[in-house]
A = this chain, B = another copy of it.
Amino acid sequence: MRQVYRCPLRWADMDALGHVNNVRYVDYLQEARVDLLRLHGRSALGEELAEGIVVVQHDIEFLAPLAYRIEPVTIETWVTEIRAATFTLAYEIFDEDGGGRRVYSRATTRLSPFVFAAERPRRLTADEKELLGRFLEEETADD
């Protein structure tokens, strides 16, 4: 299952070159991530997983320039790996374009649950693993 998030752009996301600045894509990924974790994590798990995570690694490919427009861009988010104390999200930022997709970016983020009071990572609970498992998609060999 993939979470679909319709991400609104802001005019100020454009840089002096007239395109959405690369840093703003990372903002969009954050919004998609918060949307997935807050919306789905809220009732079952409280706000713990939504609020108490840290980013361990981003890998972000930029495939096409994105121009500002009023319509939101679409972001699909899903899970590619669940381990003891980390999990990995994958994202695709795109527009539907006739029969296909115009893909602006593909990215992954490795995350870790984190206890801010103690400033240390922690293991995923069984409930959290079950929640994330609903979004799990094995990566195919040709990916």
Contact = CB atoms under 8 A, between A and B. Distances in A.
A108 to B, nearest CB: 10
Interface residues of A, number: 35
B119 A51 contact: no
A3 interface: no
B26 A10 contact: no
A21 B17 CA distance: 14
Given A23-B23, A38-B70, A39-B70, A30 B58 contact: no
A14 B18 CA distance: 10
Interface in A15-44: 15-18, 21-23, 26-27, 30-31, 34-35, 38-39
Interface of A: 8, 10-12, 14-18, 21-23, 26-27, 30-31, 34-35, 38-39, 51, 54-62, 65, 68, 70, 116, 119
19 contacts: A10-B30, A12-B21, A12-B23, A14-B16, A15-B15, A15-B16, A16-B16, A16-B18, A16-B68, A17-B116, A22-B26, A22-B55, A22-B58, A23-B26, A35-B70, A39-B70, A54-B65, A56-B62, A57-B62
